[in-house]
Structure 1
């Protein structure tokens, strides 16, 4: 086939709700099994919230009383000789019309130059299977900014055959600050993959925890959202110490330590240690008021002699 008769571009998807829409999510590579499962679990459990936060133009047309997740369907790609699995296919109604919704998840480090064409093939296979309108959505979670064009065009020099488009969500391009007031569990979890700098990590974590406190999710939902967030946004020891320090300065700090977090026990321990230290210093002050020997106070409290002398000076004793 002459080169000019080949497709001009490789695809991505961007679909506007039509009479009978279908949405889809894909991604099933063994190398990204953990990544896939995290995204799949989050989006299936908070599907309505996911659309509300990132695709409000789709959300407004979906009947969420009729949403049902279809069982996983395996499709064989005869071109590549590979088996592909569409991870999330949600059956619902949009404006009263039966529809399928597919969301494709592209892992953080698996950028593919021909992704748009691949997306078109998945869409075609699923449409052939379901024979329903399909709304395609691609979620890109890689760490770099790529600004991928979301369309695949097939044309000849004298004839335009088709242009396939899909909706996309490039998490790295999203500003995490735009979602901190949303109180949306899907947005809260996905803040961990948005565009923030290394210096902002502690602030992003605090904003996330504040959302978690306000949303008052049940224990299972809270564990899911927090587990997703902490898998992608990890703090080092210095950052965790700063996090605990800032939380302890908040009026409702006790509520934060009730959340399921990796730093929870550390924070509680620091809080208990601060409480124990305050008790020891109070004992020292009372003992000094009774003219008890400094060395004896140090022995019974475990405080250093220097600290006890400092307490004595501060209290005029």
Structure 2
């Protein structure tokens, strides 16, 4: 899995309600996006043997109104699935048959209505619209399948920075940004995220997206860094001292006589236990074998991981 895949899967899981409200406001009114259950790692094998189909994100959630043609679940609530595929390659065509196949697999397995959405991070379909997959047998068209999509590169970053939606501030980094305002708007995106009142983890996820994708060169990066140390952006400075870094400082202070690596291991253990509960003994053993460089990387990864398995520490 590419880094951007995991980053955006984590972002959408954490900010799902904001994602739907940002791009599909009418659907946000009809679906209860605050009660989503993520069906992690949906895998469909090709019988009898073959490649597995692994879906990016599948969420099950209640509808706010009856869904014609489908029976309600227990308690009289209608349930639905939202399937999101994150696409970053240079061509959109491969996504169309994949969305159609995934739709059929989900319908067959769960018997629930499915809302399919494609998210294009780079080159692909543009804007917010509906795309169509069709199959033809000469002049006969037995299949016509539609799915909704968001193509970030064609959207206006300024417009989304002005919206009251924290996810939009981060995703603006992949939208059209006026070249003469790159540094100014990058600083503004980080300032808004820092002052959002969200948890440290959520602000880290949003800020890291801006840091990773805001399209500036080295000179513009230095200019941006110079702006961020001014008083107006003091909140960004505080945000950049991440939860992990605060823990590392504490760990290094406690373990400095025994070396930085041990201090980092101690801090990592505390953070892992806070995130995932009591750790099996094997985790401590694995940490003990990691180099200082590996510990530093793990410290970054732990903030976006959803489980020990995501970090390779589950066995």
For normalisation by structure 2, the TM-score amounts to: 0.65
Cα distance in 2 between the residues matched to 1:131 and 1:142: 33
Question: Aligned residue for 2:239?
Answer: 259
Q: Which has the higher contact order (CA 8 A, sep 6+)?
A: 1
Cα distance in 2 between the residues matched to 1:149 and 1:62: 19
1:92 Cα deviation from its structure 2 partner:
0.5
RMSD value over aligned CA atoms?
2.9
Structure with bigger helix share is 2
Q: Which moved more, 1:32-41 or 1:226-235?
A: 226-235
Cα distance in 2 between the residues matched to 1:151 and 1:169: 14
One of 81, 88, 94 as aligned partner of 1:100: 81
- Decide whether the 8 Å contact of 2:91 with 2:124 is kept in 1: no
Local SS of the residue matching 1:58 = helix
| Distance change in 2, residues 1:63/1:182 (3 Å) | same
Q: How does 1:99-178 map to 2 (within 5 A)?
A: 99-107=80-88, 109-143=89-123, 150-157=131-138, 159-178=140-159
- Decide whether the 8 Å contact of 2:87 with 2:95 is kept in 1: no
Q: Where does structure 2 lack aligned partners over 5 or more consecutive residues? A: 66-77, 243-315
1:215 Cα deviation from its structure 2 partner:
1.2
Question: Aligned residue for 1:76?
Answer: 45
Q: How does 1:18-57 map to 2 (within 5 A)?
A: 32-57=1-26
Question: Aligned residue for 1:214?
Answer: 195
After superposing on structure 2, the runs of 4+ consecutive aligned residues of structure 1 that deviate more than 3 Å are: 77-81, 143-149, 155-160, 197-200, 234-237, 244-249
Question: Aligned residue for 1:315?
Answer: none
Q: Where does structure 1 lack aligned partners over 5 or more consecutive residues? A: 1-31, 263-317
> What does the per-residue CA deviation read over 1:212-259, in whole Å, with 9 as the maximum and x for residues that have no partner?
13312111111111112212225444213322444566x633333222
The number of residue pairs the alignment matches comes to 230
Question: Aligned residue for 1:286?
Answer: none
**2:31 maps to 1:62:** yes
Cα distance in 2 between the residues matched to 1:141 and 1:222: 20
| Distance change in 2, residues 1:137/1:247 (3 Å) | same
1:186 Cα deviation from its structure 2 partner:
1.6
One of 129, 148, 173 as aligned partner of 1:192: 173
Cα distance in 1 between the residues matched to 2:25 and 2:126: 23
- Decide whether the 8 Å contact of 2:130 with 2:147 is kept in 1: no
> What does the per-residue CA deviation read over 1:181-237, in whole Å, with 9 as the maximum and x for residues that have no partner?
223222122111112255442133122123213312111111111112212225444
